[in-house]
């Protein structure tokens, strides 16, 4: 009889067991590992092909970064970029994610916010910053008269993440994951063409500025990809460290002053 569990349900159950402290999978039938058969012999080497040149040769290994650069370069519109990211086969995070989280807000906005990676709520809804951190972000933006839903691009924001898929257990993205998705992010910025980029948190600073240390970087303007860049605390950090909201407010005021020039 086939199992009624789909892939996501089975993974959720496994994650739940891991959170409870399970470290091993126990089978229904005991196994005497001393009686396991010997490992199969290695297959004999196959003689080189004697056919036409190149026939039977091992295909070259894929270069994930080169493929990402080519796919991003070929995307002429934001929908085409989203489709290219969905088709990209080399980032394993997509295997465990429910949705590709591409963007939210107005692509014509003057301000583009780059977060780190989707969390559980973002993965479920397919939009960035929709959980508790996203709700705080919306309140922060409202304090300076901005919103992702604003009709006027001058008051709107456009939001995306470094990674479009949720890392398991909300872990930090690995450097190789950041590197292979960075060409898509750079192309995303080029197509949206914002006036200002806001980097939320350490991971986005690591990806875009190649530096970490958000407590040192925040509030200091930089320039990347021909755009002014302002690092800020991630709203999730502010939920854990409310005392840092004073610095976050100062950064919001700096953003507002820059946009009024």
Confirm whether 5 is domain-assigned. Answer: no
Read off the pLDDT of residues 69-101 as tens digits, 9 standing for 90 and up.
Answer: 999 999 999 999 999 999 999 999 999 999 999
pLDDT for 48 equals: 53
The domain containing residue 248 runs over which residues?
64-259
From 49-53, 130-134, 162-166, the region with the lowest mean pLDDT: 49-53
Confirm whether 179 is domain-assigned. Answer: yes
Tell me the whole-structure pTM to 2 decimals: 0.78
Say if CB 164 and CB 183 are below 8 A apart.
no
Confirm whether 231 is domain-assigned. Answer: yes
**Mean pLDDT computed over 103-124:** 97
**Mean pLDDT computed over 54-62:** 64
pLDDT for 44 equals: 54
- Please give the tally of structural domains in the chain: 1
CATH classification at residue 233:
3.40.470.10
Residue 100 structure tokens: 């590709």
Confirm whether 36 is domain-assigned. Answer: no
pLDDT for 58 equals: 59
Read off the pLDDT of residues 200-231 as tens digits, 9 standing for 90 and up.
Answer: 999 999 999 999 999 999 999 999 999 999 99
**Mean pLDDT computed over 253-259:** 97
Percent of the chain with pLDDT over 90: 75
DSSP-based three-state secondary structure for 228: strand
- C-alpha span between 13 and 8 (Å, rounded): 9
Q: Are strands 196-200 and 227-232 parallel, antiparallel or unpaired?
A: parallel
Residue 4 structure tokens: 């009624």
Question: Is pLDDT larger for residue 225 or for residue 53?
Answer: 225
Confirm whether 53 is domain-assigned. Answer: no
Band the pLDDT of 40: cuts 50, 70, 90. very low
Question: Is pLDDT larger for residue 104 or for residue 31?
Answer: 104
**Mean pLDDT computed over 25-53:** 54
pLDDT for 2 equals: 47
**pLDDT greater than 80 at residue 144:** yes
- C-alpha span between 176 and 181 (Å, rounded): 9
Give, in order, the Cα–Cα distances in Å from 186 to each of 41, 47, 173, 181, 233. 48, 45, 17, 9, 21
pLDDT for 55 equals: 59
pLDDT for 109 equals: 98
Placement of tokens 């519109």 in the chain:
77
Read off the pLDDT of residues 240-254 as tens digits, 9 standing for 90 and up.
Answer: 999 999 999 999 999
Confirm whether 225 is domain-assigned. Answer: yes
Plot region of 56 (φ>0 → left; ψ -120 to 50 → alpha; else → beta): left
Confirm whether 201 is domain-assigned. Answer: yes
Rounded to 10 deg, the angle between the 64-74 and 78-87 helix axes is 160
Q: What is the DSSP string of 139-168?
A: HHHHTTT-BTT-SSTTTBEEEEES-SSPPG
Instruction: Please count the other Cβ atoms lying within 10 Å of the Cβ belonging to residue 101.
Output: 27
Question: Is pLDDT larger for residue 3 or for residue 161?
Answer: 161
**pLDDT greater than 70 at residue 6:** no
Compute the C-alpha angle 137/139/145, nearest 5°. Answer: 105
138 beta partners:
none
Confirm whether 46 is domain-assigned. Answer: no
């Amino acid at each position: 009889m086939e199992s009624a569990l789909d892939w996501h349900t089975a993974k959720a159950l496994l994650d739940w067991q891991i959170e409870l402290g399970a470290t091993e999978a126990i089978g229904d039938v005991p196994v005497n590992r001393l009686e396991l058969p010997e490992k199969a012999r290695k297959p004999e080497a196959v003689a080189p092909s004697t056919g036409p040149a190149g026939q039977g040769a091992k295909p070259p290994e894929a270069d994930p970064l080169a493929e990402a650069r080519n796919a991003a370069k070929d995307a002429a519109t934001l929908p085409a970029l989203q489709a290219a990211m969905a088709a990209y086969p080399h980032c394993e995070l997509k295997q465990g994610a429910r949705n590709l989280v591409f963007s939210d807000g107005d692509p014509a906005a003057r301000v583009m916010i780059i977060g780190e990676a989707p969390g559980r709520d973002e993965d479920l809804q397919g939009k960035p910053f929709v959980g508790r951190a996203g709700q705080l972000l919306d309140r922060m933006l409202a304090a300076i008269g901005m919103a992702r839903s604003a009709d006027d691009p001058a008051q709107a924001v456009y939001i995306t993440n470094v990674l479009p898929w949720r890392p398991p257990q909300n872990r930090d993205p690995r450097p190789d994951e950041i590197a292979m998705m960075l060409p898509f992010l750079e192309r995303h910025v080029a197509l949206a063409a914002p006036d200002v980029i806001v980097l939320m948190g350490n991971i986005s600073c690591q990806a875009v500025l190649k530096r970490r240390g958000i407590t040192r970087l925040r509030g200091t303007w930089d320039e990347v990809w021909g755009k002014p860049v302002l690092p800020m605390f991630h709203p999730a950090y502010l939920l854990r460290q409310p005392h840092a909201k004073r610095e976050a407010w100062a950064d919001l005021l700096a953003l507002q002053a820059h946009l009024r020039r």
